[in-house]
Structure 1
Amino acid sequence: MAPTSEVLADMADLRSQLREQGSPYSELFKLRPARVLLDIAFDWTLMVGAVAAVVWLDVMLAPLSVLVLANRQRALGNILHDAGHRNIFRDKDRNDFVARGLVAPLLFASLSRYRETHFQHHLELGRTQGDPDLIPGQDHLPSSWMVSYIKCLLSWTNWLGSLGGHLFDQKVSLRSKAFIMGWWASLVGVLALLGGGDFALAFVSLWLISRATLFHCITTFREMCDHFGLLPGGVFGFTRDMVCHGPWRWIIHPRNNGYHLTHHLLPAVPYYRLPEAHTLLCQLPLFEDRSHICRAYFTTQTAVTTEWQSKAAT
């Protein structure tokens, strides 16, 4: 499997080549906290608006509202991910204050637990006994990628994680879970005060329906895009970039979440600079020779599902 030494060696080799790039490399790590705060405000506005449309315009808009909520849950999940790396602010206190106040509890997440498991994923990438995000069954792929997707989709553990985040994680303290529930109680109270009881009830109901359905479907596919079908052996061998455009990217990988290889190689680069980082990496011989890049999700020869299918055939 991929020992920590291989992961660190890949990152060290890449940084050695990047240092020769000089200024463009150092620019990648500069943070723009105002950009993140505006993105969070945008997500909150869109989510509240989606629920308001159901409550005050037409209940038949509920399916569209669920789609919007699922998409913004994914987008906020990527901001939580950046918060785990302290990519909102480098200062831990300010970074965690924003994450714990506006993002993590909304997603039923403990920032501390998320940071712990995500760092473990980075360091123990692909190890059966070490990587908490490893999807089982990669060494015996079925003939159809859809079978693998449905198996992951129907996993009870995966579904509980999508629905309740860390609320069902036995390693998260009761204090952390109480904080999440208390935060939600406060949110419901504010929503009821500003929009009425029906609005607050609709927000909670649509939020949970979204997480249990479309969010789970999107998240499962997104997680498979990151590493599924690749052989453990360092960052390059076990991680791919999804350089896609169009509606599917907006749904599956909002906020540049598809640049997963680029992120693993440069975890201190914030999400809004990942396309720039990917472009810079593509100029390096090491990246060009060893990277896995897919440029579509379905049907084409460069699609990730095509790659899954080809791996099953070998």
Structure 2
Amino acid sequence: MGKNMNTRTAISDLFTREEITELTAKSDLHGMWAVFSTWAVIGGTFAAVAGFWEYLPNWGKLLLCIAALVILAGRQLALAIIMHDASHQSLFKTKWLNDIATDWLCARPIWNDLKKYRAHHLRHHSKTSTVDDPDLSLVEGFPTSKKSLMRKFFRDVSGVTGLKFALGRVLMDVEKMEWTVSNDRRWISQEGRHWTDYPKTFLKNSGGAIATNAALFSVLWAAGHPKLYALWVLAYVTPFPLLLRVRSMAEHAGMETSNSALTNTRTTKAGYLARALVAPIHVNFHKEHHLMATVPYFKLPKMHQMLLERGHVPEPPSYWQVLNELSDQAD
């Protein structure tokens, strides 16, 4: 641990060539499992609500809906993380599975675009924690007070954050705003545009999201439960922004401004609950991911263990510890 942690870390200083080759080996089978298991939980959640609904009293139906919203939001985050891994070409060994199948099965259903996300996200990796990091606004202002953090969380679960995000996505898809993950307001000149350009541009950019959500609605309709689609939308605008916020905070908030992933990125310990909600597909091993982004998700725990045993990384904190650390300022 004696090296200067503010300089960019050379992977060859941490692993042998053989270890790097083994750690970066991709697998179509593991990629398929990530996608299939995520959609299986989504389908199972809808089936559980449909199956138990008529047997429950009103309070039981309310609890069932709340549980379904939380589970669906966790799987929406999982779809986002699968897209994230595909953006690094690490999810599938086969290129069309990585780029096309993942885009339509994972990115589009949550109103995203793998190609746009990839261009944006690779800038985040090259400029992490600097003023040029396109995701910097996601983690600015930390540490903060517990009251401030609770206000942010309330905006998330009340739908305020989600509705603002949806409005921002519309503005981005009509190309009035630059496309960003963080929904930053970077306006695009509208000089020379006709009003008919806006719906055409929206359909061009949002057509995939509309088509995949229409397909999901059609499946629920064919199963006799079209109203269940409302749970998908509500999950997207209520618990989903909260889970995204916690995930973003854990990864980079309160870390040093440096060129090294060993100091500008955080790995977090994730139990079963965290893995179900804020840390799907081993995204909690984020320091390892930033050190070598081509390592597929199922190899990250092994990579972490190797770094831990060699003294390159400390024991990671839990998500609760991170939240407490980032909200310890006086009001």
TM range (shorter): 0.7 to 0.9
**Paired residue secondary structure (2:319):** coil
CA distance in 2, matches of 1:113, 1:133: 18
Aligned twin of 2:233: 208
Q: Which moved more, 1:85-94 or 1:42-51?
A: 85-94
What are the superposed Cα offsets for residues 47-76 of structure 1, whole Å, 9 maximum, x if unpaired? 122112222321612222112211211222
Match of 2:212 among 161, 180, 183: 183
CA distance in 2, matches of 1:257, 1:28: 16
Question: CA shift at 1:164, angstroms?
Answer: 7.5
Moved >6 Å (runs of 4+)? none
Structure 2: tracts of 5 or more residues without a match: 55-60, 180-200
Aligned twin of 1:84: 87
What are the superposed Cα offsets for residues 160-181 of structure 1, whole Å, 9 maximum, x if unpaired? 4765894553335631212221
Match of 1:295 among 301, 317, 324: 317
What are the superposed Cα offsets for residues 78-120 of structure 1, whole Å, 9 maximum, x if unpaired? 1111111111234543311211221111111111111111111
Structure 1: tracts of 5 or more residues without a match: 1-5
State the one-letter code of the partner of 1:171: E
CA distance in 1, matches of 2:167, 2:303: 33
Q: Does 1:69 align with 2:95?
A: no
Aligned twin of 2:193: none
**Paired residue secondary structure (2:14):** helix
CA distance in 2, matches of 1:22, 1:105: 37
CA distance in 1, matches of 2:24, 2:164: 31
Aligned twin of 1:305: 323
Aligned twin of 2:8: 10
**Paired residue secondary structure (2:233):** helix
Question: CA shift at 1:191, angstroms?
Answer: 3.4
State the one-letter code of the partner of 2:148: V
CA distance in 2, matches of 1:189, 1:250: 27
Superposed CA RMSD: 2.8
Aligned twin of 2:47: 52
CA distance in 2, matches of 1:119, 1:134: 16
Aligned twin of 1:148: 149
CA separation of 1:262 and 1:66: change in aligned 2, threshold 3 A: same
CA separation of 1:161 and 1:113: change in aligned 2, threshold 3 A: farther
Same amino acid, percent of matched pairs: 24
CA separation of 1:244 and 1:132: change in aligned 2, threshold 3 A: closer
State the one-letter code of the partner of 1:240: R
Q: Does 1:229 align with 2:247?
A: no
Contact 1:162 1:215 in 2 (8 A): no
CA separation of 1:153 and 1:231: change in aligned 2, threshold 3 A: farther
CA distance in 2, matches of 1:84, 1:122: 12
Contact 2:140 2:253 in 1 (8 A): no
State the one-letter code of the partner of 2:8: D
State the one-letter code of the partner of 1:185: A
CA distance in 2, matches of 1:77, 1:47: 14
Match of 2:308 among 270, 274, 282: 282
Aligned twin of 1:263: 289
**Paired residue secondary structure (2:91):** coil
CA distance in 2, matches of 1:114, 1:76: 13
Contact 1:145 1:305 in 2 (8 A): no
CA distance in 2, matches of 1:146, 1:274: 35
Aligned twin of 1:3: none
Higher-helix-fraction structure: 1
Q: TM-score, normalised on structure 1?
A: 0.80
Q: Which moved more, 1:37-46 or 1:85-94?
A: 85-94
CA distance in 2, matches of 1:149, 1:123: 32
CA distance in 2, matches of 1:249, 1:10: 29
Question: CA shift at 1:127, angstroms?
Answer: 2.2
CA distance in 2, matches of 1:207, 1:157: 17
Aligned twin of 2:299: 273
Q: Does 1:241 align with 2:255?
A: no
Report matched runs for 1:159-170 at 5 Å. Answer: 159-160=162-163, 166-169=169-172, 170=177
What are the superposed Cα offsets for residues 170-210 of structure 1, whole Å, 9 maximum, x if unpaired? 335631212221232233234323x13xx2331x2001111
CA separation of 1:262 and 1:35: change in aligned 2, threshold 3 A: same
